[in-house]
Amino acid sequence: MKPKFYVTTPIYYVNGAPHIGHAYTSIAADVLARWKRLDGFDVFFLTGTDEHGQKVEKAAAAAGLDPRGFADRVAADFRDMADKMGLSHDDFIRTTETRHTATCQELWRRIADNGHIYLGHYEGFYAVRDEAFYDESELTTKPDGTRIAPSGAPVEWVREPSYFFDLSKWQDKLLRFYEENPDFIAPNSRRNEVMSFVRGGLNDLSISRTTFNWGIPVPDAPGHVMYVWLDALTNYLTATGWPDESAERWGFWPADVHLIGKDIIRFHAVYWPAFLMAAGLAPPKRVSSNGWWTVEGEKMSKSLGNVIEPRNLVATYGLDQVRYFFMREKPFGADGSMSHASLVTRINVELANDLGNLAQRSLSLIARNCEGRLPARGEATAEDTALLDAANALPGLVRDKMDRQVFHEALEDVWKVIRAANGYIDRQAPWALKKTDPARMAVVLRVLVDAMRPVAVVLQPFMPRSMANMLDQLGVPVEARDIASLAAPLADGTALPPPSGVFPRHVEEAA
Ligand code: MSP
């Protein structure tokens, strides 16, 4: 039986249109899901939408719609975004689905039955934009007197009856859990941040609201709806079929990795494991958080008018190009800037020149000089062996980087081989060997195909369409494109299709 792997994206608030921040985490999760499938895992990849709470209720009111109708519309837009980004998700969850209500209510009951929920009164600050409670000590005051959360969101004073989760009792258990699971939070800077937050002491958490009703009803407590973050986090459990522990997907729990943005780490790395442990369930294995994108060095915001629509980006530069840029341009955990100039450079230098030309040069020589058939392997020189060894080491190197979500390093490993192959072709000059030593020319071209094959195989998760095209041109059978199949050599004499460019250059449109 294949080992299981469960990866998730955050579920996105349906208060507005998707932007590149959403597309980014989703693409990273897709790259990981595709990689794991390629590497022999049985993968469950989940994405979806977060539809309850005041933030969505307010956005619906502003649009003049009832929350359900509004959520239906925006959720459809997120589904379309997922398709346009080439996501290979196995499920798309909406928190307004009945399966989700059932799971949330059962989780609540288990936590309550275990004695971790009590009824009280909440009085304090709340930021609707973050759907988060804040302590007075965390706030700053603007000259006009408005109080601001660390995220920049305005807060309001809330006073209402509320159920509480006894989070204050979980400090030691959480700290022990982080110690025993050093890989639980990535990157390490976030782990330190979370640990010092927990060491500072935890307040009990308000987990129900009574001043509005766009949420999941608390069982046996008329007037209370669940705090939207308890509802939202539970999506990861709902999709496994829980509480039906005979459901096939329940076998995927605990999740292997939740990919999230750095702003929502506290919910995932503090509240979520505490809720699960309180219900007697295993916490996820890892929470890996990404940094934020700015645009041309500026924070993206509606007021600046610089919010980038991911589908427009794809229409301008191409899907695989955008996926590559996202994964290559900055470390996953770090912040980074997206700019037109850096996109064009990556596309034209790394994709079109380095990789595209390598394939084009090698394959057109085979088309012209080897009757379009894959030449047989020959006696290897030291240079041949060095290139082939470097190419064959890629799966191991990439596997290690993927498991740590250092996607940019995985791509750097691949590009080292691509650059080495370009150096090799220049030095070997097979176009000259054609006259002086045609047998050696054939061997050199075969070495190039054998080196490009693992390159294209491991790049499939990043750029599925372009690499399918490249593997077609390399004569790699469709059913032999996974990591395990790299062990068997390609058949000598395989007829290769006429070569055609894999990556067009990005040409500026005339103004
Ligand atoms: N609904 C919650 C998540 C619940 S998960 C159980 C939420 N939704 S969100 O739509 O506001 O944000 C989703 C993700 O987008 C967050 O992880 C956030 O970090 C990310 N981003 C929002 N703006 C971003 C950038 N400018 N750059 C990168 N990611 C950013 O939070």
Tell me the pLDDT tens digit for each residue of 282-315.
Answer: 999 999 999 999 998 889 888 888 899 999 999 9
Pocket test for ligand 1, best of 50, 231, 233, 298 (most atoms within 8 A of CB): 50
Closest residue CA from atom 5 of ligand 1: 10
Sign of the alpha-carbon torsion through 330, 22, 243, 104: positive
Sheet (strand 205-206) strand order? 132-134, 117-127, 156-165, 205-206
Q: What percent of the chain has pLDDT over 90?
A: 96
**pLDDT single digits (tens) 346-372:** 999 999 999 999 999 999 999 999 999
Distance CA 321, CA 462 (A): 9
CB of 276 closer than 8 Å to CB of 191? no
Return the structure tokens found at 312: 């427009």
In single-letter form, the type of residue at position 317 comes to Y
Judge contact between 340 and 297, C-beta under 8 A: no
Site to substitute for ligand 1 among 7, 9, 14, 25, most atoms within 8 A of C-beta: 25
Evaluate if residue 511 carries a pLDDT over 80. Answer: no
Q: Are β-strands 117-127 and 156-165 bridged in parallel, bridged antiparallel, or unpaired? A: antiparallel
> How many Cβ atoms from other residues are within 10 Å of residue 354's Cβ?
16
Look at residue 305 in the predicted model and tell me its pLDDT: 86
Nearest to 281 by CA among 321, 242, 339, 323: 242
In whole angstroms, what is the distance from residue 399 CA to residue 434 CA?
38
Instruction: Give me the residue label for tokens 């390609």.
Output: 490
Ligand 1: atom nearest CA of 260 is: 17
Cα distance between residue 338 and residue 443, in whole Å: 42
pLDDT digits 0-9 by tens, 421-480: 999 999 999 999 999 999 999 999 999 999 999 999 999 999 999 999 999 999 999 999
Write phi, then psi, for 94 (nearest 5 degrees): -120, 135
CATH topology of domain 4-290: Rossmann fold (3.40.50)
Residue nearest to atom 19 of ligand 1 (CA): 261
Task: Specify burial of residue 428 (Cβ count, 10 A radius: 0-12, 13-18, 19+).
Answer: buried
Q: Which residue is listed with tokens 């979500």?
A: 405
| Residue nearest atom 11 of ligand 1, based on CA coordinates | 13
Separation CA 214–CA 228 (nearest Å): 9
How many Å apart are CA 424 and CA 413, to the nearest integer? Answer: 17
Q: What is the distance in A from the centroid of ligand 1 to the CA of 99?
A: 24
- Cα(264) to centroid(ligand 1), Å: 7
Q: Quickly count: other Cβ atoms within 10 Å of residue 69's Cβ.
A: 11
Residue range(s) in the chain whose domain bears CATH number 1.10.730.10:
340-487
Per residue in 44-76, pLDDT tens?
Answer: 999 999 999 999 999 999 999 999 999 999 999
Distance 450 CA to ligand 1 centre (A): 41
Which residue has a Cα nearest atom 8 of ligand 1? Answer: 12
CA of 293 to the centre of ligand 1 (A): 11
Residue 37 banded pLDDT, cuts 50, 70, 90: very high
Using the predicted structure, report yes or no on whether residue 221 has a pLDDT greater than 70: yes
CA distance 339 to 341: 5
pLDDT over 90 at 133, yes or no: yes
Beta strands in 19-151 (DSSP E): 42-50, 91-94, 117-127, 132-134, 140-141, 147-148
Dihedral sign (CA 143, 149, 152, 155): negative
Give the distance (Å) from ligand 1 centre to CA of residue 457: 31
pLDDT of residue 123: 95
Structure confidence by residue, pLDDT tens digits, 481-498: 999 999 999 999 999 999
Per the prediction, the chain carries an average pLDDT of: 97
DSSP at 288: E
User: Would you say the C-alpha torsion 61, 67, 69, 71 has a positive or negative sign?
Assistant: positive
By alpha-carbon position, which residue is closest to atom 22 of ligand 1?
A: 21
pLDDT value for 509: 75
pLDDT of residue 302: 80
Helix (H) or strand (E) holding 186: strand 185-186
Cite the residue boundaries of each domain of the chain with CATH code 3.40.50.620: 4-290
State phi, psi for 499 to the nearest 5 degrees: -65, 145
Angle between helices 394-403 and 382-392 (to 10 degrees): 30
Looking at residue 493, its pLDDT comes to: 97
Ligand 1 atom nearest the C-alpha of 300 is 26
Q: Give per-residue pLDDT as tens, 474-485.
A: 999 999 999 999
Q: Is the dihedral of CA 214, 217, 223, 229 positive or negative?
A: negative
Q: What is the pLDDT of residue 303?
A: 80
For 327, the token pair is 């994964």
Distance 21 CA to ligand 1 centre (A): 6
**Which residue's CA is the nearest one to ligand 1's atom 17?**
261
Crossing angle of helices 20-38 and 310-317, in 10° steps, is 70
Confidence of residue 510 (pLDDT cuts 50, 70, 90): low
The answer to whether residues 162 and 124 touch, using CB atoms and an 8 Å cutoff, is no
Tell me how far the alpha carbon of residue 472 lies from the centroid of ligand 1, in angstroms.
Answer: 37
Q: Work out which ligand 1 atom sits closest to the CA atom of 10.
A: 5
Ligand 1 centre to CA of 24 (Å) is 10
Nearest atom in ligand 1 to the alpha carbon of residue 235 is 6
Cis peptide bond upstream of 243, omega within 30 = yes
Counting atoms of ligand 1 from 1, which one is nearest the CA of 12? 10
C-alpha span between 168 and 264 (Å, rounded): 20
What separation in Å is there between the alpha carbon of 369 and the centre of ligand 1? 53
Encode pLDDT of 164-210 as tens digits: 999 999 999 999 999 999 999 999 999 999 999 999 999 999 999 99
CATH topology of domain 340-487: Isoleucyl-tRNA Synthetase; Domain 1 (1.10.730)
Ligand 1: which atom is nearest the Cα of residue 22? 15
Which helix (DSSP H) or strand (DSSP E) does residue 274 occupy?
helix 272-278
Distance from the alpha carbon of residue 392 to the mean position of ligand 1, in angstroms: 37
Total count of residues recorded for the chain: 511
What is the distance in A from the centroid of ligand 1 to the CA of 471?
35
Residues in the ligand 1 pocket, defined by CB under 6 Å: 10-13, 21-22, 24-25, 50, 232-233, 235, 260-261, 263-264, 292-293, 300
Q: Cα(5) to centroid of ligand 1, in Å?
A: 23
Mutate to test the pocket of ligand 1, among 12, 49, 229 (most ligand atoms within 8 A of CB): 12
Tell me the CB-side half-sphere exposure of residue 312, using CA atoms within 13 A: 9
Q: How far apart are CA 147 and CA 382, in angstroms?
A: 68
Does 93 score more than 70 pLDDT? yes
Specify whether the CB–CB gap between 405 and 186 falls below 8 A: yes
